[in-house]
Structures are given as structure tokens and as C-alpha cells.
Structure 1
Amino acid sequence: MTDAQPTASTPTGASAEQRDWSLLDAAAAARELEVDADAGLTAGQAAERRARFGPNELDAAPPEPAWRRLLRQFADPLIYLLLGAIVISVVAWVFEGAHGLPIDATVIALIVVANAILGFVQEARAADAVAALQDMTAVTATVVRDGRTERVPAADLVPGDVLALAEGDSVGADARLLSASSLQVAEASLTGESVPVTKSPAALPEPVPLGDRRNMVFKGTAVTQGVGRAVVTATGMATEMGRIATMLAETEQEPTPLQREIAAVGRTLGIAVIVIAVVVMGAIGLTSGIGSLQEAVDVLLVGVSLAVAAVPEGLPAILSLVLSIGVQAMSRQGAIVKSLSSVETLGSASVICSDKTGTLTRNEMTMLTVHTGSGVADITGVGYAPEGEVLVDGSPLLDADPALGIRAEDIVVLSGGTLASDAEVRQDEDGGWVVVGDPTEAAFVVAERKAGLSGRREQRFSRIGEVPFTSERKMMSVVVADAEHPVEGGEGQPVLIAKGAPDVLLEHSSRVRVGMAVRPLTDDDRARVREAVESMSAQALRTLAVAYRPLRAEEHASVTAAGGFDSDAGLALEEDLIFVGTVGIIDPPRSEAAAAVGAARGAGIRVVMITGDHPATALRIAHELGIAGRGDRAIAGAELDGLDEDALRAAVRDVSVFARVAPEHKLRIIGALQADGHIVSMTGDGVNDAPALKRADIGVAMGITGTEVSKEAAAMILTDDNFATIVAAVRQGRVIFGNIRKFLRYLLSSNMGEVLTMLLGVLLAGFLGLTGHGEAMVVPLLATQILWINLITDSGPALAMGVDAETEDVMARRPRRLDERVIDARMWGGILSIGAVMAVVTLLAIDMHLPGGLIEGSEDVATARTAAFTTLVLAQLCNALNSRSEHASAFHRLFTNRWLWAAIAFGVVTQVLVVHVPLLQAGFGTAPLSLEQWLTCLALASCVLWFDELRKLLIRSRGRRRGTPTPR
């Protein structure tokens, strides 16, 4: 047989569409892959194919070098503006003669570098998501080669290899099943399916979604039960997991709303700086004339002063510090944020898209109810911890009088279902409960322990043999020896116990047990069972039934005649069974999830469930959590495939549950929500969630159950896997966003006051008495004074506002719309008006102290400039009280922020030092002020406070007239 290249797989990294091997029968698949299904590949064939296809690994993008990550911190329009200010300052310093150090340029440079280092350190732990995929799948596999079974690294698998699968194995590559016996595979990390999938080698009649390809196994999944053989059809990047890795690499990370807004502010300020500087320097040149190099330098210095006044030098560093503080607060609540700018985004989220399994639910199959001929028993407690009870009419099961035979069949259902399973439930070293085997079978084990039966069952019964489960039969059976009913020879009575689909067990049953009695199974009995199954299925419960019958001596002998149990002969024993009862099992929602969903809805945030699970199961959980109403429907992935983008956008507006979805469906759903104007958060824990986590405005991964892939793709990780933590993080994000608006309002209005002071001061110098004092040109403030205001007076209060306490209505507001600016038109109006008032009172201080102008004064230029400098500083400190709210009075919650008062006090003290300490007077060009002059400056500065109080009063009055509450 020639070893021609198989059509199964494309070389690693290729993008060709893969063949659907689920449509071929097993023999045809082996033939096309040119492999002997019994002997496997030869060593030579395996080596040749590995050389051709490469290792069975996922491509990993090279990690970004540290130096590039550091340089990326400077890629911001506001930083560009600061770098431009550094250049201008250095040029001006050179023109002045390069005496001493260029203080302005040095200080701004230190701020820029400190900001870059802060961002670099915070993002240092972010790793490449595809590399994490590769690490996660570094497993070994059992293969058949040269007719022998051997264990090889999964990286050595090639198309055509025959895999030997057994319970506990990780599947090393995508493969087509050749045979299967009771084979079940957990595919939750790939498809979102909450329960293990039963596999069968039978060919499928038509193409089906990934989660329904029962004759395929996929790389990165795990075998939970049974054995099987499969031929490898795809390796490396050609696998389904590789396809997700490709999508992840191709998914671009969108800038956050805050990043976009700050970039826009930087661009706006940059344009404003250039325009204002050019206009003012041109006006000076036209009105005063430039007759020497020194005069040209003086004009340039005015331009530098304007640039320094317009640029809030401390904004990048303050923004990073406030976000960093927010990150620390979130981490204490169980949310680790990897990117600083993501903090604000979560607070602005209008939609939270959540996976179901393991995120909204516990990912722990739990039995809720038992239906028998005597009635219904309810089981309390959720999860794998055996904490709860089996209740009959409100009383524990074992409290029933055994002499009356009350509810004895419930005992048979629970213990019988446990006997007919291979699952184990045990405690780990940390005291938690873990499952080995099938989670659905584990639900029987836990329920039996809740009823207090496990010790009795283990003493009474011992297994003799098993008739395994198959997808065709939909049932399994075990034969056990009942020590309490010995037969001839002292051995225990052999009993066959069957567990499977209720309709299948009804077909194999002729009798029914009610209490201690066994009677013929009637049509009415069958109808009642089917009604119970329909009732449980309507609640999205997974149903299983239990039946049994004691074996006759000759039947037992017939299946053990060869010295061991013959499962083929055991098939004939699965007739004339005694039907006992049916159970309902579900993966329960997290207890705190419903409250969290309610809190999110109260905050105007819509919760959307996106899961790979069955639509009925998804809807049931969605109803219970309040995500969907009783009349709502779920859309499956197959239906999504038929929707164009417009139809999808219409669907996502009305539908909150999407089931049986593939990773590409999740990307489309998130894209449609974003195109509809939403800020989208996506939560998830599986490999299949990773591309959507990256695509969303903020991806949130589960820290405990989440795969490394999802953690690396996400911007935030929940350390407690608690959906409620997301709502707490939303609250914190809203607080941070509100505080960012506060200090932006403060910084920009303060800087606007400086810009207007410099602009109007130069243009109106003659009216203010600034000319004719022995200087060729007089500016209202020196560049060093403006830099002092920006770095010392501005930064302290701005940082204090960044840690302001939350307001009463933080979770009562609607989410911010995508088209709603961080700095909206009303806020810009406040910024301009407050800046104008600052400029007016500052220039008025100059005019009051200088001879000439509108108000006659008698002081020199240094004193007048010092008065203006002091007035502007005090005005900005008054503005710090204003800026805590756009609507509420500055006197509301006046003393709740002790850090703000400390910053104000620090600003006042340092201003006194700058005005009265001789060394600082020389450095900043100030002159001492009298007490009367200080009081005058304070009175002028307070006009900013009273003006804004009047403005806010008008806003609140308009809100009351319209009947709309005004946010705090």
C-alpha cells in the first residue's frame, strides 16, 4: 500500500476547509486514510507523515518582546502631545541660552516615563492565548502502530494513527471512531455541552453541528467512560481546537471606550494648542512687532506657556493611578483585571453575555426528583457534596415505616442506579468533592448518600458482571449478588439491575414495583411514567429510569459458564424487568446567580446566555435565573447559520438565550450586539469561549474552572467563579468611571482657566494694564507658574477625586450608551464656563493690583502676577469641590472624601510657601502678599464656587420641572 498523502488534514497552519468525516462509515474512513484499522500505521509511515504534516501542536505567536511592550505604552495621542511639549520646552530653553536645567521639559519627561512604567508593570502578566492553548494540550496518547499498542506524546500523532481510548484519557487529536463500548466524552471545554456525550461509530446521514457529531472525538476533550478506537483525521492547526486558535489569532482587540475617549481628548487638545499658540503669537507679532532674536524668543515662550497651560501633564499618570487603585479594589472582591483601561469598560457594559455551564451553573449534575409508583420524592441540596435529604411529603425517606413498605421503591431507584454505574465521588485534599467517571452517574451516588443508603448497599451487594451501555441500546445493566437473599450454595441471589432511557426500560419491563409489592405493568402505569417524563423534560431535567429482576439459577449459570461474565449472553436477560422509577437530573444554577442577574437588570444591564447546551436546558436555566421570560424562546446555532447580519441584529435585540452554538456563532452574536451600539462583556470558561472573550469589549474568564486559554484571552479573571462578582465589578467599574469623569472635569476646566487666562491676558494686555512696565512683552503668568499649577495644585485633588466614594445611585443609572462621550456636550459646557470664570477672576486680580487698566492699582508686575497666580490656584481648589458632581451641590456629602481635603490643604500650604519663601520666590517669580491681598484672592477665587452652585441649581430645577430625578 502506497503512503499517498491522506485527504484528512491539511498541513499545520493551513486554512483549507476540513472534510466532514462524520458522514463516512468507519471502514471507508480507514481506507481513505490508508491505514489498517487493526494494525495501525507502521513506524515508517508515522515518521513520513510527521515530516509531512509537522508536529501535532498549535501554532503559537511569538511573545511580544518586553522592549516593544514598553514602547507601546507611549502610543497614545495625549503622550504625543506631552512629547511635543517637551520638544518645544527644550527649544525655548536653548534659545534662552541653555542656562541651568530645562525644568519644564525634565518634569514633563519624568511624568511620561513614570506613566509608561506603570502601564508596563500592570500588563506584564498578560500572555499569548494561542501559546496557552499549546500548553494545555501537551498530553500523551495510546496508539496502535505495527500491530502493537504504545504510549506516545500527543505531539507525535499523525493523520491515520489509530487511537486506543479509555476512561481518563485526553483525546490527542481529532479522530473518527472505529469502535466504541460505553464511550462517553466530556466536550464542555470545546462545545459547551454540560454532560458527557455518548459516542457511537455509526456514520451520520447528514451534516450536523460539532456538538452532535457522535462518531467523532476532538483534540482537547476527555474520555469519562468506556473504551473505543478511532483513526486520526486532523492534527495541529487543522483540528477543531486549531480552528479556534486561528479565530483567536485573527480576532482583533478593540480599544476600550475610555481609550478612545482619552485619545480623542488628546487629539482635540493638540489641535487647540497649535491653533491658540499660532493665533496668539501671530497677534503679538502683528501688534508689537519682532525686532530682535530675543523678542522672537519671548514670543516663542508665550507659545510654550500656552502649550503648557493647555496640556494637563498629570492626566495620563493620574488616570493610570486611579485605574490601578480600582484594579486593587476589584482584586479584593475576586476580580483580577489584566488591563487598566478594562476597569472602566466593565462599568459601562450594557450587555453581559454569559456561558451557561460552569458560569451560571455549577457544572455539577444534581438529582432533584424521583418519580415512582407511590408518588414523588424530592431531593434537597445541590452539587456533589452529599449535603441534603431525600424527602417524601416533607419527611426524610428513611423515616417511613419499613413494615408498611412505604416508598421502598425509592430506595431501589437510588441504590440500583448507583450499582448500575462506575462513577465515584470522593473528597480531595482541600475538602471539596470531586467526581471520577460520568457526572450523571455521580448524581445517583450523591443522592444515595443523602438518603443514608450507601453503607447498606455496599454491605449487601457485590458486582458479578456488566452489560455495557451503547447509544443504540440507550441502557446498561449490571448483575449483582444480593447477600441478604442467599441461594443454594450460600451465594447471594443474582439480580440484574438496569439503568437507561425511561421509554427503553418501559419496553423491557412487564412488571412494576409499588412499595414492597410487585404487580403487572399496565397501560395506565406506562402512561403515568411517560407523563412524569414529559413533566421533567419540560423543566429541562435529564431523565433516567431504573428497573431490575432477580435471576433464576440457570440464567446466572448461562452467563458465567465460561468462567467469567458474558455480556453478550447478558443481553438476553434484559427482559421481563420490574420497572421501579424515574429520576430527574440537572446541572443546577449557582445559588447567587439569580440575585446577580436581578442586580444587573436593575442597573439596566441585559444578560444574554450563550451556550453549547440543548435549547430546552438553556431555557430552563434562563427562566430560573430571570434571564428569559416564560414566553421567550431560544435560538439554536443551526438557525443562526441561516440569518444574515441584519436578521441577526434584529434577533439579538429580542432573544436572550442562544443554544447549541459554535465558537463562530458567539463571535457573530457579540459583533451584532456591538454593531447595535452595546458595550458587551462576555463571560466564559472553556476553550470554545476564548475568541468571543477576546472580541468582546471586556472578556471575563472563570479562574477556577476556566481553561488557561480563556484566562489568557480575557481582560478580567474571576478568582471565585462567581457570577455575582461580575455585578460587584460592574459597581466598582461604575464608581471608577464616575470618578474619572470627576477628575477629567476638574483637570480640563482648570486647564481651560489657564489657557483663557494666557490667551485673554495677552490679547487684552493693554486693557488690563500689563503693558508699559519696562518689559517688551508681559504675560499674565509665567510658564513655571503654570507648570506648578498643573503638577502640584491640579494633581493632588484630581487623584483624590479618583478614589471618591460611590454615590447612592451608582447602580440605579442606565448603562452609558456607546455613542455617549465620556466628556459630553453638557460637561464641555461646564468646563468652558468654569474655565471662563477662572480666567475672569484671575485677570481681575491682575487688573486690581496694577496701575492703569479697568481698576486702578498701585503694585508692580511681580506682585500683580503673584496675586493672579494665587487667585488661579485657589479658584482651582474651589473647583475641586465643584467637580465631584455635575448636578449635586458641592456641599452635599462635603466631608466624605478626606483625601480631597488633604489635597486642598496641601495645595494651600504649598502656595503659601511659593509666595513667601525667598528661594521659591526666585524660582517661580513670585512676590510676598499681604493678608488683605490673600483675602482678596480668596474672595475672587470663591466666585468659581458660587457660579457653579448657581449653574447646578438651574440644572436641578429643570430636572424637577420635567419630573426626572437628577443623578448625584
Structure 2
Amino acid sequence: MALGPPSPRVLRDPSLLDADAVGRELDVDPSTGLSEEEAARRLATDGANELRGKKPVPTWRKILTQFQDPLIYLLLAAVAISLIAWIIDGAPGTPIDALVIAAIIVLNAVLGYTQESKAENAVTALGTMTAAVSTVLRDGKLRTVPSAELVRGDVLVLDEGAAVGADARLLSANALRVQEASLTGESEAVTKDPTTLGHQVPLGDRLNMAYKGTAVAQGNGRAIVTGVGMDTEVGSIAEMLDATVEEPTPLQNEVAAISKMLGAAVVVIALVVMLTIILVDGVTEPSDLVIVLLLGVSLAVAAVPEGLPTILSVVLAIGVQRMAKRNAVVKKLSAVEALGSASVICTDKTGTLTRNEMTIQRIVTASGTAEVSGIGYRPEGDVRSDASQLVDAHLHEARLLLGAGSLANDAQLTERAGAWEIVGDPTEAAFLVAARKLAGTTERMSRFERRAEVPFTSERKMMSTLHRESNHGTHVLLSKGAPDVLLSSCTRQQVGRETVPLTDQSRAELLAEIEGLSADAFRTLGVAYRSVTDQSADDDIEIDQSWEEDLVYVGVVGIIDPARSEVAPAISEAHRAGIRVIMITGDHPSTASRIAQNLGIIEAGGRAVTGVELDALDDAELLVLTREVSVYARVAPHHKLRLVDSLQSDGQIVSMTGDGVNDAPALKSADIGVAMGITGTEVTKEAARMILADDNFATIVAAVRQGRVIFQNIKKFLRYLLSSNVGEVLTVFLGVVFAGVIGLNEASDGSAVVLPLLATQILWINLITDSTPALAMGIDPEIDDVMARAPRKMTDRAIDARMWKGIASIGLVMALSTLFAIDLFLPGGLVEGNDTLDVARTAGFTTLVLAQLFNSLNARSETTSAFHGLFANKWLWGAIGLGVALQVAVVEVPLLQVAFGTAPLDLTHWAACVALGSIVLWYDELRKLTLRRTDRRRNAPLRHAAAHNPHHSR
């Protein structure tokens, strides 16, 4: 029990202190641990055993952030100008323009805040579900406490499968092996030894220490906590993240550029139109100047797609929800599109490309090779040779091999609620699963009682256990380990039910079989045994490695972490989309290469580059290498960060997956970091922009598709909004310039300013055409095959030159159709009519509304006909129907006629408006037909080259 407060922290490296010295420095008795009162006091003094997160952002600041956008600034300016114009006009009634724009701004802020809060809550919930617990010794009794409540001086009890909750100095270790891949990147578990070190060594060689964020793979032990929270090795890596700059996503850059461009364009357009009206119409009266100012504000609103921020937030939010249904938690809305722009996906192997379930798939004994069917930890499958069940000698050898491997074993296999789970080393658990697949094996195993063991060590590369057979009381020593090491201790070989001497030739043949398994990417383990006659009656048998001699070699198993069945098709889909997949793993190069070939990442003969080779390259050489090589093995944390930086310097948009703490800097540096939700560490999830709840590569590719669909939908409503707004601006501008040509001047009642559309009508058009149709296009289903095209480059614009031409031409067609409708019904002009100005203006007003609704069908694709999948988007048809109904109301309802300056139309008028409004649809169909033919001619040489080089790959 502690008698006083500990020192603020262990100032010396605890690995260089003996355990008793550490206990004295932290003022704790290792035999009883801290008292509950002392632990509570230290927790209150030092704080929780958690990594320092970012300071919580106040709600008011989160809300204020939603207004920090150039388009929002522009709309706020429009509100101010509208209010000034309203005041100059004598403040009549309600400033509708200002109120509507302000409402749009507020709605956008609410949507953005709500959706980002939902994403944050989802991440928080994920962290709560995976909160770790630790077993400690307090007041001489074992207790389970949240790892966040560990304090310096706590005595940790470490068992197989337990997560290490804090940095700790080992007191004892019994065959203790700890998986430290999350810190060091080394896939093999490290055998721990509490012996005091004589000098400082690298992190991975501090065998008497256990670290926060690692896991016990085998054995048990006890340790004194020496570091918590940010004073841990994990905490030191977390500090590195603050030095890594997080770059804005491609979508954020694009929207910012469009916003700046539109801001400048609006000012120019409004000034030019107002100046044109003043010069052409000779405006001098204050009342006429107010009308011109109001029109300028209306044109500013018309020129800017003020619904863009709102629609963008909604579309991205819907993308977040769709991602969540596919096991992906997106922390930031903009990350959805960024993933869709990825040109390279850097992925780890274990658990992402593979199931992270070590499985025995092949066994080799004296009678030959047998295949084990079934994958994972569910013991379903069988053992066969040449598609036949094993018989006689082969069956006996296989049972002996799998049974002995399962007995010389510290793992556990259990079934809970229909799911099979393991505790301990996954490689050892593979024996337990395979033994259940071979009938009669587990029954024979039940007759053996474990009496003693020689634990595994990394130096010996083998372990042995002594068992007593209950039927006869005899003892047997079972050994399991690296086959080549095991063979050196064997003098005989099991052949059927007999044993035969091992000759030099048979040893060479066995080693060749082992080499063959390794070449096929199998991890190999050999099994041997010998009968023990000495000391068989002793109750307290102590054995050591001297017992591991004169063994009988039984055979070898080939173990592999099988690939997920859905990964190979996902990789093929990624390649079809022009996305390069790069595997970065800590495994052996031959294993990495074989898995990569099986999954289609590289072709046969492709090589894996190791971390040692990367260290020998300068940045220029690395850039050349990363363009060609797609598999990297035996890599360290700094290699991952360097690979990401090299790819980005080559203009690639990089997605990086990871689960360990060592992955966090690379994840944050990547354009889109993707953390594993199941195996991922706290630091990794904090650094990433997206978290995969199922740790599955296929989910990443599905997210890429979703990201591309979202970006295409963003282009759809940009195409729609901008072309429609250009149509409004050109209608007013050309209507003023050519007022005499279309008969507007003749219809003037003497006022200096005669406009083709009123300011309130322009605002109304924006309300019914810039909102619901654009939003419906934001959730449009996939029309074009988004995975059949190359990824966007960093330099690509959301609106390219071809799209701008389409926007301008469609806007011009809308304007000409609208002005022709006015001319058609006005006296004079190009076509003689006999209606009043109010009727003609209402007809033009209605034609423009209908033209924009027709344009919503055009905008769903740049080149695909509007009639392809015409009724696929029910929301769009609902928006069109709503727009038509509202336009009929504003034309035919007397109260709305007064508010918007409209007049009732008869069926002839309505028929003409529909016909003229539909011109934009037929024009765009012809334009798309021309574009498709042009694209086919342009792509013909590429298709011809591909046909004559079918084996070409990236």
C-alpha cells in the first residue's frame, strides 16, 4: 500500500531500473498494489489516462464557422444592398428580398452544423463502444477498471487477449508475448522478459516494458504502471500529429474558387446591367434609380446560386448517411468527395485486405499433402487429399499433427451467440480450428492432461508441453515451432503408425516441402513429439529445453491469413476506375507479394520493396520507385509517411488506411486518412477523416464510388444552377438592350425603365427553381458509370471549359425563348401580338420558369440523353411538379398576381409557354449527341491501342 505521493513522473528510463526500484520510486507495494483511496487521489491529481484531445470548440464558434464562406459573404452583402434599396424606396411593406436571402443563409448554417454534429456523435459513439478495461491489483484484490482510470503505480495484471492500458515496467512474465505492431509495425508478437536492461535500447527491444495501445498475444504477467496519458509512448506519437498540417480537400478548394469567381462576376454583371439601363433609358429620376438598384440586387441574387452552400451541405450529409449504411463513419462532410477523388489507395494488409483470421489451409506429412477447407475461426470444413477423405496412414498422421499442435497451444477457441472467437495467438488458434474439422481429433485430445511446458522464445523459435495420457498414465512431450529449427531436434519421422529414422535425404526433402509452402505465401509451423518414460510418476515435473531432443517429426502446416472474398472484385473495380492500389505491410516480402498477386494488385513476378531498400533511396529515386512499385513490406512508421509524401508530390490524391498508432502521422498527411474502427487505435481514429466500422477494403472502394457519385451530383446542380442563372441574367440584359426590337418600348406607359422581368419575379424564379430541383439532383442516382473514368486530378476544375460552354449556350437559349415569348404577345416587335405588357411579361416569366424545369432534366449528365433513366429520380419529378403548381398559382391566384405583377393566362398562352420552354431540352439533346460523337472519334485510337495490348496495366 502506498504511504505517500509518488514523484511527478519516473524521471529515469524505467527499463534501466529493477522492478523493486520502480516500486519504491512510485511508492507502491507490488504484492498488494495501490489502495482505492490512493488510486483515486492520484487520478484526481494526474488526470485521466487519456490522450490529450483538441480543446472542445464552443457551440457558438461552430455555428459561426458555418458563415465563413465567400458565397455567404456575398449573400450577406446582397441582404445589405436589398435593405438599403428598400429604405431608399420608402420602406414599403416587408423587405421580402432581404428576408428570403437571410433565411437561406440561416438554413445553410443550421444544416451544416447539424450534419457535422451527427458525424462527431457517430465517432464518439464508436469510441465508447471500443472503450478498453484493465485488470489491476488494488488492496491486494483483483479489480477490473476502465483503462482511463489507471494511475502511475497501479499493478497491471496481463493475460492473453488483454489490451495493455498504460506504459508499464514488467514485474513478472510467464511465456508473455505482446503484439506491438500498433507501435513498431512489427507483425510478430514480442516475447517479454522482466530482466533489467543494462543500457538504453530502441523501443522495440525494451523487453521488460509493456506499452499502452498494445495487446497480450500469449502468456501472462504483472507490471507497474510508469506512464499514463500523454506521458506514454502513444502520447509522444500523438504530439507528432500537431506538427502535421491538414490540407483542405479538392472540393473545398474548388468551391472556394467558384465562390471567388462568382463574387467578382456578380459585381461586374450588376454594374454593367445597371449602367446599360441608365444609359439606354436615360434614367434621371430618383424613383427610376431605385428601380434600377433593385434590379441590380435582383440580378446579383440571380447570378449567384445562393442555394449552393445549402444544397452542398445537404448532398454531403446524405452522402455521410449512405456511407454509414456501408460501415463508414465520415468525420467531415468534405471527406466524402475527397475520397471520391482518390487516385491512389494505400492500404495495409492484415484485417483490411485479409480477414485477420489465421487459417491452416495445407498440411504436409509423410503420406503427402492434404488441403483443409473453410476459412476463418468457424470450424466448418474438412481435410482432404486429392478431393478424397483421408484414410489409413495419412489420416493417422493428420490427426497426430493437428492434435499435437492443438495441445502444445495456449490459445482458446469459444463460441458465443453463434460467433466463434479466439483468445491468444491467432497462429496457435488456427490449430484448434483445423483439429475440429478432422473427425476424431478433438476426441483423442481430451485424453491428454497438460503437466508442464517450455515456453516459446524468439531465440528458440519453438515451444513444448508435457502431457499425461489418462488411459495409460504415460507421458508425451509435444513440440511446435519453426520447421527448420524443429527438424534439427528430430531423429525420426512419423510414417503412418510407425516411426522411421530421419536420413539426410529425407531431411532435404522435408526442407524442400517447407520451402514450397513458404513460396506459396504460407506461414509454416512444424510439429514433433516423443514419448517420455522418465519421471512419469512425479507430480511436480519441471522441464526445460534439454527435453527437446530425439523428437519424432510429424509434419508441417501451411497457415495463411485468407483474403476477404470481396476484396479481389473491389480491387478490380478500383483498377477499372483508374485507381492504383498499393499494399503497405509489415509482413515478409514473399508473403506480401503472393497475397498482392492473388488479389490482383500486381501481376505475377511483381516484387515487393522493403523498408531497408527505401532507406537507401533519396527523394528523387523514391519518386521514380513509387510510380512503378505497388507492394511494400517490412516497413516502419516513417516509411509510410514518406511514401504518402512522395505520391502526393507526384500529383496523386492519396487515401491511406491504417489501424496502429504508428499509422497516425501518415493518415493525417494523406488527402483522406481512413482508420479501422475495430482494430484502430484512439490516435489513429483522431487523425483520420473517415473510420471503417468493418475494417474492410471493399468498403473503401464502395466509398470511392459514393464519393464520385456525390461529386457528379454536385456538378449536376452546378450545371443546372449556373445555366439557369445565366438565363435569367441574359434575359434582363438582352431585354433591356433590345427592348425596342421586341416591342417593350412601345408597351411603355411613359416610365423611363421598362424591364422584361420584375425584381420580384426574378426572386420568385430563384425560389422555385434554385432550391428543390437542385436539391433533388444532389441525390440523383448514378446515371453515368462513374467507375469507368479516371480519377480527377488536383488541377482539374469542377467546371471545365466544355461545361462552361454548355452553361453559356443553354442560358442563351433560355433567354432567347423567354424574350420571344414576350415579343410573341406584345404589339409591335418582331412578331405582332395584341396582349398587354402584364400578360406578355407573365408569359415570358412563365416560359423562363418552365425552361429551367426542363433544364433540370438536361443537367443530369453532360453527354447522356435526358431520356436515359428519365424516371429514375422520383424526387426530381416531385420538384418539377411542385414548381409547375407554384407557377400556376402565382399566375392565376389574384392575391399573388398583385404581389408579383402577373396577369392570368389562357390555354393558348400556356401552350406557347410550354412549347417555348421545352426548346432548351431539344437543343441540349442535339448538343449531347454532337458531344457523344466527338468523344467516340477521340477515344477510338485509345480503344484500338487497348485492344492490341490487353495485358497492359498501370
Q: Could you tell me the TM-score, scaled by structure 1's length? A: 0.87
Root mean square deviation, CA, Å: 3.7
User: What corresponds to 1:245 in structure 2?
Assistant: 238
Alignment of 1:329-408 (within 5 A): 329-397=322-390, 400-401=391-392, 405-408=393-396
Instruction: Give the whole-Å Cα distance in 2 for the aligned partners of 1:767 and 1:215.
Output: 93
Aligned-pair CA distance for 1:115: 2.0
Does structure 1 residue 307 correspond to structure 2 residue 295?
A: no
Change (3 A) 1:946 1:866: same
Change (3 A) 1:675 1:787: farther
Moved more, 791-800 or 541-550: 791-800
Does structure 1 residue 462 correspond to structure 2 residue 449?
A: yes
The counterpart of 1:917, out of the listed 893, 909, 916, is: 893
Contact 2:523–2:560, Cα closer than 8 Å, also in 1:
yes
Contact 1:306–1:759, Cα closer than 8 Å, also in 2:
no
User: What corresponds to 2:952 in structure 1?
Assistant: none
The DSSP-based 3-state class of the residue aligned with 1:476 is strand
User: What corresponds to 1:269 in structure 2?
Assistant: 262
The counterpart of 2:401, out of the listed 387, 402, 413, is: 413
Instruction: Give the whole-Å Cα distance in 2 for the aligned partners of 1:236 and 1:572.
Output: 44
Moved more, 451-460 or 433-442: 451-460
User: What corresponds to 2:605 in structure 1?
Assistant: 631
Instruction: Give the whole-Å Cα distance in 2 for the aligned partners of 1:200 and 1:571.
Output: 17
The counterpart of 1:61, out of the listed 47, 54, 61, is: 54
Change (3 A) 1:893 1:755: same
The DSSP-based 3-state class of the residue aligned with 2:627 is helix
| CA offsets 1:10-47 (integer angstroms, 9 cap, x no match) | 9xxxxxxxx8x9xxxx6xx117xx96268674359999
Aligned-pair CA distance for 1:451: 0.8
Contact 2:10–2:25, Cα closer than 8 Å, also in 1:
no
Does structure 1 residue 876 correspond to structure 2 residue 876?
A: no
Alignment of 1:682-831 (within 5 A): 682-707=656-681, 709-771=683-745, 772-807=748-783, 809-831=785-807
**For residue 581 of structure 1, what is the amino acid of its counterpart?**
G
Does structure 1 residue 951 correspond to structure 2 residue 927?
A: yes
Aligned-pair CA distance for 1:856: 4.7
Contact 2:784–2:861, Cα closer than 8 Å, also in 1:
no
User: What corresponds to 1:431 in structure 2?
Assistant: 418
User: What corresponds to 1:493 in structure 2?
Assistant: 474
Does structure 1 residue 934 correspond to structure 2 residue 895?
A: no
**For residue 388 of structure 2, what is the amino acid of its counterpart?**
S
Aligned-pair CA distance for 1:921: 0.8
Moved more, 851-860 or 879-888: 851-860
Instruction: Give the whole-Å Cα distance in 1 for the aligned partners of 2:61 and 2:510.
Output: 67
Moved more, 740-749 or 188-197: 188-197
Instruction: Give the whole-Å Cα distance in 1 for the aligned partners of 2:913 and 2:303.
Output: 23
Contact 1:804–1:897, Cα closer than 8 Å, also in 2:
yes
| CA offsets 1:638-668 (integer angstroms, 9 cap, x no match) | 4444544443333322222233334443333
Instruction: Give the whole-Å Cα distance in 2 for the aligned partners of 1:287 and 1:80.
Output: 32
Does structure 1 residue 596 correspond to structure 2 residue 577?
A: no
User: What corresponds to 2:950 in structure 1?
Assistant: none
Contact 2:160–2:423, Cα closer than 8 Å, also in 1:
no
Does structure 1 residue 580 correspond to structure 2 residue 554?
A: yes
Change (3 A) 1:947 1:520: same
Change (3 A) 1:846 1:540: same
**For residue 483 of structure 2, what is the amino acid of its counterpart?**
P
Change (3 A) 1:537 1:960: closer
Instruction: Give the whole-Å Cα distance in 2 for the aligned partners of 1:508 and 1:163.
Output: 37
Alignment of 1:593-672 (within 5 A): 593-672=567-646
Aligned-pair CA distance for 1:748: 0.7
Instruction: Give the whole-Å Cα distance in 2 for the aligned partners of 1:135 and 1:328.
Output: 20
**For residue 649 of structure 1, what is the amino acid of its counterpart?**
L
Moved more, 61-70 or 681-690: 681-690
The counterpart of 2:27, out of the listed 17, 36, 42, is: 42
Contact 1:130–1:709, Cα closer than 8 Å, also in 2:
no
Does structure 1 residue 900 correspond to structure 2 residue 873?
A: no
User: What corresponds to 2:655 in structure 1?
Assistant: 681
Aligned-pair CA distance for 1:213: 6.2
Aligned-pair CA distance for 1:439: 1.6
Moved more, 524-533 or 757-766: 757-766
Instruction: Give the whole-Å Cα distance in 1 for the aligned partners of 2:842 and 2:201.
Output: 79
Instruction: Give the whole-Å Cα distance in 2 for the aligned partners of 1:867 and 1:745.
Output: 25
Instruction: Give the whole-Å Cα distance in 2 for the aligned partners of 1:696 and 1:432.
Output: 36
Moved more, 433-442 or 879-888: 879-888
Change (3 A) 1:904 1:49: closer
| CA offsets 1:913-940 (integer angstroms, 9 cap, x no match) | 2222211111111122333333333333
Contact 2:652–2:793, Cα closer than 8 Å, also in 1:
yes
Using the aligned pairs only, state the percent identity. Answer: 60
Instruction: Give the whole-Å Cα distance in 2 for the aligned partners of 1:219 and 1:580.
Output: 40
User: What corresponds to 1:473 in structure 2?
Assistant: 460
Contact 2:777–2:860, Cα closer than 8 Å, also in 1:
yes
The DSSP-based 3-state class of the residue aligned with 1:579 is strand
Aligned-pair CA distance for 1:599: 1.8
Q: Which runs of 5+ in 2 are unaligned?
A: 944-954
Change (3 A) 1:291 1:352: same
The DSSP-based 3-state class of the residue aligned with 1:359 is coil
Instruction: Give the whole-Å Cα distance in 2 for the aligned partners of 1:939 and 1:372.
Output: 83
The DSSP-based 3-state class of the residue aligned with 2:724 is helix
**For residue 383 of structure 1, what is the amino acid of its counterpart?**
G
User: What corresponds to 2:487 in structure 1?
Assistant: 506
The DSSP-based 3-state class of the residue aligned with 1:107 is helix
**For residue 359 of structure 2, what is the amino acid of its counterpart?**
T
The counterpart of 1:448, out of the listed 435, 443, 463, is: 435
The DSSP-based 3-state class of the residue aligned with 1:770 is coil
Contact 1:481–1:495, Cα closer than 8 Å, also in 2:
yes
Contact 2:134–2:156, Cα closer than 8 Å, also in 1:
no
Change (3 A) 1:199 1:647: farther
Alignment of 1:477-556 (within 5 A): 477-484=464-471, 486=472, 492-552=473-533, 554-556=534-536
Aligned-pair CA distance for 1:384: 1.0
**For residue 575 of structure 1, what is the amino acid of its counterpart?**
E
Does structure 1 residue 833 correspond to structure 2 residue 809?
A: yes
Change (3 A) 1:708 1:159: closer
The DSSP-based 3-state class of the residue aligned with 1:654 is coil
Instruction: Give the whole-Å Cα distance in 2 for the aligned partners of 1:878 and 1:150.
Output: 70
User: What corresponds to 2:288 in structure 1?
Assistant: 295
Instruction: Give the whole-Å Cα distance in 1 for the aligned partners of 2:749 and 2:142.
Output: 100
**For residue 725 of structure 1, what is the amino acid of its counterpart?**
T
Alignment of 1:29-178 (within 5 A): 29-30=16-17, 36=21, 41-43=26-28, 57-127=50-120, 139-140=133-134, 165-174=158-167
Contact 2:185–2:637, Cα closer than 8 Å, also in 1:
no
User: What corresponds to 2:823 in structure 1?
Assistant: 847
The DSSP-based 3-state class of the residue aligned with 1:320 is helix
Moved more, 416-425 or 939-948: 939-948
Change (3 A) 1:664 1:236: farther
| CA offsets 1:538-596 (integer angstroms, 9 cap, x no match) | 233222211111112x3435xx4xx51223xx433222111111122122211221121
**For residue 435 of structure 1, what is the amino acid of its counterpart?**
I
| CA offsets 1:344-386 (integer angstroms, 9 cap, x no match) | 3333322222221211111111112222222212211111111
User: What corresponds to 1:860 in structure 2?
Assistant: 836
The DSSP-based 3-state class of the residue aligned with 2:238 is helix
The DSSP-based 3-state class of the residue aligned with 1:434 is strand
Aligned-pair CA distance for 1:819: 1.8
How many residues are aligned here? 928
Moved more, 322-331 or 343-352: 322-331
Aligned-pair CA distance for 1:274: 0.8
